[in-house]
Amino acid sequence: MRWSKFLTGVPLALSLACGPHEGLRGLAEPFPAPGPVEYLAAGSPERARESVADLPENSPERVYAEAQLALFDGDPSLADGFLAGLDYAPARLQRVRLAVSGKVRLIPDRVPPTGEDPVLELGYGIALLAEGFSDEGLARLESVGEGALGSVAALVRAGELDGYDETELRRSALEKAWRFATPALRPLILPQYLAAVRDAGGGWGLANELERLRGEAEIASPPWIDLTVWLIQARQPLDSRDTAWELAIYAPKEAFAFLGDLKRCLEELPRLAALALEVGNTGFAARAIDGITLSPAVYLLKGEYEHAIGRPRQALAQYAELFDDPSYAGLARLYAGVTELGRDRREAAEEHWSRVTGTTVPPELAGTYLERDADVARAKADFYRANLRRTTAPGEAARLYADALAGGLTGKERARAAWRLAVIRADEGEWAPAAEAFAQVGDDPDYRHHVEYWRPRMEELAGGGSVPPAYNWAYPFYELPVRGAEWWLAPEPEGFAPRGDLTDLLYSRPGDEELNLLMALASAADDDLFNAYAGALARYRRDDSEADAWLALACARRGYEVGDYDVRPEIEYASRALAGNEPGGLWVLSLAYPLTYLEDAEKAGEAFGVDPLLLLALAREESRFDPRAVSGAGAVGLMQKMPATAAMLAAELKLENYDLRDPGDSLLLGAAYLSKMLDRFHGNLALALAGYNAGPGNARHWVASFETLPPDVWLLLKPFDETRRYIIRVVGSYYRYRQLYGDG
């Protein structure tokens, strides 16, 4: 039980409180016991049926549980019958969701009266419209009232009126929708509203209305770029062409939709061609390039075009036209090197990059991605050269990475250069320089949480006394070495169980108007409306962990209400919340680490002596519990096994008629393979996972170094980058699963 003292009583974030759980309570205090609903969500129908039998006959709890079992068994009509007899808010909302999703057919005179509940009015209005009962549906929507829900109801009404000669009514509905909309809801309304204003004419002239909207305080609250994007999507006029070109830096696809209309403007063709190449519209780029008068810009653009359509020899011929031009040779050689590398001609690529010096672009390409590349061409070339040498000549690669950083390398490439420089310094035992390099990674989201551990760890090894933080929400693996856990050794399996209070959690309220609307739409909206609002909310409140947490909960609720336990959306949103600065409460963790396919994992774990929670951690990281997942390399199913490997294992197990897309079969084969890896590497979980990911042959090469380095430093330096990330994710998930659900 090597982890037992680290996996209970750990005060993850006592200061956090959200939803029904007040903080995380150290995770030492047990949750309420699970019931049928919790077992169904965990993929354990047998236990769910057993627990239903323990409930009193005809009790509301039993009737509600019977409804969920009926959904699980694929009988929504029976589920609706159970729910109809309950005076219970979740039951009423679930009935609306079943109707809106089309699982249950509606007849107007049998629609339940909803009284003063605007969520139910909205949901049944949408469902009636979908069934073709327009008058009844519109009447329901009109009764919703004001506020954010009234705004949504008016938006849906306007959409229904669009097919009729009701221009003024539609404009009036959209005006109401706009008036009561939250900032995150307005992107859904603005294009339709402006079109209705234009169509209605009269005193509601479009120009006047645009001017009024731009002056509203509510419009000023999002970045100005959001409003510009919305206007472009609505095909409405912008203030100026310069505004659109400024937008192209941040949102090139949206800007291109507007600027493409300038194709008859000869002076704009070079920039338009570059923008088309940036957004992948090679057909437009080709036509634009054909209209450009011969100039240095033509050679760069033609080279980029030929490279984009997969003709490297022709691309190199275009770049070569500029090799003798001191103004543009640097950029031409930068791109020629990239093209040569795509042909796996590393020496030729190195030759081009070594000759990159200061460069610029023709004036007609100002403001395009080519100018941005030219500004840091030498730094990019040093970065690319370093990448070629980091395994064969790490000392030279370190010098080039340092030069690239000093030369102003930007964005994702800067973060990668700093990280790789830090790893090289650490491999040399230069702990202090490694810490300095980690500090240059910056706040890049792909590296930030790793650097939070490795920078102080390097300082600690250098004798500086710094200690990594105790908590890492995004990558819980890093909590283990800080706590002194022997994370590389597989602990013994222990008992575990789902947690209670799932229904209370799914129907909790956030106390925030926009998020309350999200939770209402989780039950009352169809897929198009919910997905549109969720996307707008995620965009408007980006980098907002609270919004991400409630988006996860809303997705979980939508699936639960129709018996669909696809957990991928909530895992993604909950993981985003945990990667933020204020990750939320315990319930966010339960959504990020669900107990899906519990019974199948237990059966597979028992067959091969593997902890079922470890199998769930693997399934979470391999496929996000998607039994139909197929990787680019051809790995299939929950546990992402290659068909050839699966066939070998099935032959050893005498398993016939297996299906890698079947969760039970996939977990069984995955458990068999992981058990082999654990036996081969004598219970070393780190090496077993390395073998599972990179193959046992590669893992054998890393055994000797494991015995000479601190385990965490070994993980940083020796496995492949992909394998290191894989071990960090799986071990971290396993730790969190045991922490959340383990009995030890």
Residue given tokens 């700093």 in the structure block: 418
Read off the tokens for 698: 């590669």
How far, in Å, CA of 435 to CA of 481, rounded? Answer: 18
In angstroms, the CA 8 to CA 485 distance is 13
Nearest to 269 by CA among 300, 236, 303, 297: 297
Beta bridge partners of residue 684, listed in sequence order? 489
641 beta partners: 636
What distance in Å separates the CA atoms of residue 214 and residue 430, rounded to the nearest whole number?
A: 55
Start-end of H helices in 73-117: 76-84, 89-100
Identify the DSSP state of 268.
G
C-alpha 264/C-alpha 288 separation (Å) is 9
Give the integer Cα–Cα distance in Å for 618 and 622: 6
**Coil, strand, or helix at residue 565?**
coil
SS3 state at 684: strand
Element holding 31 (H helix, E strand): none
Q: Cα torsion for 38, 41, 47, 48, to the nearest 10°? A: 70
Q: What are phi and psi of 249, to 5 degrees?
A: -65, -35
Find out whether 703 and 681 touch, Cβ atoms under 8 Å: yes
| Nearest residue to 533 (alpha-carbon basis) of 545, 547, 544 | 547
Q: Using H for helix, E for strand and C for coil, what is the string for 333-378? A: HHHHHHHHHHCCCHHHHHHHHHCCCCCCCCHHHCCCHHHHHHHCHH
**Main-chain phi, psi angles of 742, to 5 degrees:** -70, 150
Active site residue 514: no
Q: Cα–Cα distance between 707 and 30 in angstroms, integer?
A: 39
What whole-number distance in Å separates Cα of residue 242 and Cα of residue 248? 10
Burial (Cβ within 10 Å: 0-12, 13-18, ≥19) of residue 126: buried
Cα angle 148, 151, 153 (rounded to 5 degrees) comes to: 115
Q: Are 499 and 38 a contacting pair, CB within 8 Å?
A: yes
Tokens 């856990």 locate to 485
DSSP H or E segment with residue 121: helix 118-130
**Closest by CA position to 600, among listed 551, 525, 656, 669:** 669
Of 561, 482, 465, the closest CA to residue 735 belongs to: 482
Structure tokens at 270: 């070079």
**Displacement of CA 567 from its chain's centroid (Å):** 13
- For residues 228 and 249, the answer to whether their CB atoms sit within 8 Å is no
**Residue 536 and residue 534: Cα distance in Å, rounded?**
5
Q: What are the two backbone dihedrals, phi and then psi, of residue 636, each rounded to the nearest 5 degrees?
A: -130, 145
Query: Which residue has tokens 């690669």?
Result: 397
CA distances from 28 to 14, 478, 505 (A): 12, 20, 20
**Strand, helix or coil at 52?**
helix
Radius of gyration (C-alpha) of the chain in whole angstroms: 29
Catalytic-labelled residue, pool 209, 304, 546, 622: 622
**CA atoms lying within 13 Å on the CB side of residue 728:** 24
Q: Which residues are catalytic?
A: 622
